[in-house]
Structure 1
């Protein structure tokens, strides 16, 4: 769901993109059918897209706030991506004065690359690229200034958006024109791409770590004890008592850091004087208390099953 247009040459680099993102919710077969109708040009505008999605019982979430191009130093980067259940495929163009590189990635691993000094490059689906190509051949000239090229690209995006809902009506246009004296633009691009891909790898590792941590938290949360035996009182010191946890009970702090394993002691507080060594501590009706007399207890820990 993207259209990115890029010019790279001796004047610099101009890149323009729409900002549309569409999410589909429904049966896999009907989602694929709808996408095919969009990409082939059968569906020509947002109204037809809404009507067809209703016919196929597909829910759509359409937004026009995606950032598909960005600056890195004296380079503009454009990206289109597709996501599967297990992985993300990316296609990127890095453009600057007298140089561009196109890379394809699976996750954060580069699977294909190509480069050149000058070109007009299009990223998008079949119908959007076909319309854009026709318009570029009519409107664009190499003698144009970078600023005017950006205006031409923006006009092209607007015309494409009027003929296919795969392209939105909001756009970004970016321009760079650095001067390279002794440095080869391709070597400069190599360095920028290496840093950018490394940053993506670190981000993916952090995301993976965060997801694993969230999953662990969810699993622990499902083990919180709302009813059952907790342990026995092993030490009393006025209102402060120590409870030895049962063999299937463990304790965590509010950040889900383990504080005590089964058989180890935790600290609790009682406001009642009727406390005896060996008293059973339980949770009844979600209340932590002494089983014998139902005196309530307080603690700042989370009690979970093993």
Structure 2
């Protein structure tokens, strides 16, 4: 079977969950091969995790350029590995950086590009993807008809499935292009420490909107999220009001999420918000307005005051933990 290259997204010495999801999807298409760039001393432990999740081969490249400069060094590495391996497809996490890497790679390989896929499967002429278009109003089935398919996949498109693999480790030396040093990193700041999962990767997201009423009242959203091990999201109205940071905004001008469970609280369901969460597997809405558009989208709905409903739900979730 042909190789399927998977660019590994990693942080703090560990492979991130979307990378493991991509390895699971890659097994549908061919033989998964992971591409691990700039992991330094943590490369062996990350590689071991990748092998546990089905990587038959791990291409490993380490150089200061991966940390000191943006995007292009990774494109250089992927291009050179792709030229050597002649893969049937290249899978990349659908993040801001991932989509830029994928676009540049597709241009260099003179290949077709598909972004923001929510599913990937084997087709008659190559990988067949599913995308959500026009604020998730339509599902689009697409396949690349030219070159090596380069596909970015949204987090939570698959459940990581561990499986034993050969896991051959291959060290790769990369010849960086002059463009690799075009944009340098001048400073870094640590992310705010939180015990909650990353919003775009979380299996459960609890969001609050205009109906929450104030920044202080977001405590009821956070309490429910913590009881469920969930990430906290916010609508644009809540963010614009200064109640919650923009980094937690879900919607067309915020982040796109696709969790297993999305709980929308005090959110009317405007198209701007729907564009960021409509591909969630199960949607639950709590709103006092029985005519709120969010109920047209929700799988389950509660017409009621979120300040009455959410504390009961939190208490029930905590009780079931015991």
- Tell me which interval the TM-score lies in, with the shorter structure as reference length: under 0.3
- Rg comparison, structure with higher value: 1
More strand by share: 1
The TM-score normalised by the length of structure 2 is 0.24
The TM-score normalised by the length of structure 1 is 0.24
